[in-house]
Amino acid sequence: MAVERAFWVREPGYGELRAVELPDPGPDDVVVRTRYSAVSRGTEALVFRGGVPASQHDIMRAPFQEGDFPAPVKYGYLNVGIVESGPAELLGRTVFCLYPHQTRYVVPADAVTVVPDAVPAARAVLAGTIETALNAVWDASPQVGDRIAVVGAGMVGASVARILAGIPAAKVQLVDIDPARAEIADKLGVEFALPDDARADRDLVVHASASEQGLTRALELLRPEGVCVELSWYGDRRVSIPLGEWFHSRRLTIRSSQVGTVSPNRPRSYGQRLATALDLLADPCFDALVADQCRFDDLPAALPKLISREPSSLCLRVTYDSD
């Protein structure tokens, strides 16, 4: 039985690498050698600090999670690797899998998705993020020529802005409190604004800042009858928003979006949605979402810095010595 290594949250705020024994693969399994994984700054940071509410422990489980919240737990879902063993049509192929940070792993063959040749493996780790953004766009149902704001220029918000920018005649503005995110917006081909300077009278606002202030500003930017799609995951934090004042007089709508369910606006399977997300990653603009990288061996030290908002990048990509 092969022995590999995996990252575990030992207790809230502390991570470690543990030895894991791989099971013998069955006839319908693949053995994948990880080339890259990535840390989702929002969800994984929440898991790392122990912020998943008890009521959401079952709902928040990742497909190949081990252990339970709050800890110890092996958690993650952005993994790209090479198939070393399995069905002939997958041998040697680069694949994406919703698997935690681990050097090698065994999963059913239908749990991996082949990465298109046009998508570099290092960029493909964003597939889970782009899938979330794609689902949000489907939930939002934007129209040609819409005036749109995306509040929160994190991984998901920035991805949403890039996808929305492809809608003909749409006017998309990415809004964030950090002026440094203007550079990210420029690379994504969208306009940037600080919250106080954001354009109002928007037909649609997508909120992804995971902050009370951001959600309030998102509602303020809407035109009468406008729609705010709430994409933030607050975990165990309570949020207050002004539902008095102009909320009712403008007849505003707040719509939830969550990647755990495929948008009812698009009758697609989970596999079809992920495949579409990978196709979108042929766009080199998405490289702007990854600005920091660490070795797998350094991940236990890198995650606490991520929680404290250092480094300031959107995505932390993890490289493996076997690559």
Q: What is the pLDDT of residues 221-245, one digit of tens each?
A: 999 999 999 998 787 778 888 888 7
Q: Residue 237 maps to which CATH number? A: 3.40.50.720
pLDDT at 140 > cutoff 50: yes
Average pLDDT, the chain: 93
Q: pLDDT, tens digit, for every residue of 271-289?
A: 999 999 999 999 999 999 9
Q: Is residue 17 part of a domain?
A: yes
CA-to-CA distance for 79 and 33, rounded, in angstroms? 10
pLDDT at 200 over 80: yes
- Give yes or no: residues 152 and 248 share one domain: yes
Count the domains in the chain.
2
Domain range for 140: 129-256
Give the model's pLDDT for residue 313.
55
The answer to whether residues 244 and 148 belong to one domain is yes
148 and 245, same structural domain? yes
Cis peptide before 72 (omega within 30 of 0): yes
What local confidence, expressed as pLDDT, does residue 310 receive? 47
Both 118 and 139 in a single domain? Answer: no
CATH number for the domain including 29?
A: 3.90.180.10
Residues 192 and 289 in one domain: no
d(CA 253, CA 206): 12
Mean pLDDT confidence for 290-304: 91
Is residue 195 in a domain?
yes
Spell out a b/e string for 173-197, using b for 16 or more CB atoms within 10 Å of the CB, else e.
bbbbbeeebbebbebbebbbbebee
